[in-house]
A = this chain, B = another copy of it.
Amino acid sequence: MAVWGERLAGVRGVLLDISGVLFDSCEGGGVPIPGSVEAVARLKQSQLKVRFCTNESQKSRGKLVGLLQRLGFDISEGEVTSPAPAACQILKERGLRPHLLVHDDILSEFDKIDTSNPNCVLIADAGDAFSYKNMNKAFQVLMELENPVLISLGKGRYYKETLGLMLDVGAYMKALEYACGVEAEVVGKPSPEFFKNALQVLGVEAHQAIMIGDDIVGDVGGAQRCGMRALQVRTGKFRCEK
């Protein structure tokens, strides 16, 4: 415990990943990871500031939070930093009109975005919508652009559902990068801007915060590069051998 006391000295804020840390998702719902509902409750009763920092891009924040509430978590939409709203801000600032390759359940996040006559492609964890036809369309849109812009909501390799590991958006990002000869702009973890935004809303400095996640690259590496501390849980996609 003394070691933990040292490691956590000065921590005032906690950023919590969601998938693989709070729950494992499955078709149509999810299952809380044992102890996680109670852990969130205890954190919120403590002196620590808490924010949820997720790369979830298959569901809108509203749907995700609704699901977590039904599973027993004390969480509200305003406590969640997720990639889609961050991407919408970037799209507006830069006058980008995306061709969207996303899951139907997140389309509502882009309600106020002009998608006519696309000048970029935005991909998210589209699940079954990652058909050859849809990927080919995204590829063709990029190849027609003079300055192709590819925005990816996260770049995870895979995540864990109750039935097993599932390919994440990062794999499809790599496919389009290779086919089109472009480099994607990642919105979400491990992008420093994304962590900084979450910290700003939380009102703590990087050195006062700890990120808790199951992804060694997206959560742990990304947070550490921002000057935060980080802790990798042994749930979700955690695998001993890698």
Contact = CB atoms under 8 A, between A and B. Distances in A.
Interface of A: 126-133, 135-136, 139-140, 143, 157-158, 164-168, 170-172, 174-181, 242
B139 A165 contact: yes
A126 B109 CA distance: 33
Contact of A131 (B132, B166, B174, B179): B132
Nearest to A139: B167
A170 to B, nearest CB: 6
Contacts of A164: 140
> Could you tell me the dominant secondary structure of chain A's interface residues?
helix
B181 A170 contact: no
A214 to B, nearest CB: 15
A166 B132 CA distance: 10
A139 B158 contact: yes
Given A174-B178, A175-B174, A167 B128 contact: no
7 contacts: A126-B132, A128-B131, A135-B171, A139-B165, A143-B165, A158-B179, A171-B176
B127 A132 contact: yes
B139 A132 contact: no
A171 to B, nearest CB: 4
Given A128-B133, A132-B129, A158-B139, A170 B165 contact: no
Given A130-B132, A132-B129, A135-B130, A171 B167 contact: no
B139 A128 contact: no
A110 to B, nearest CB: 21
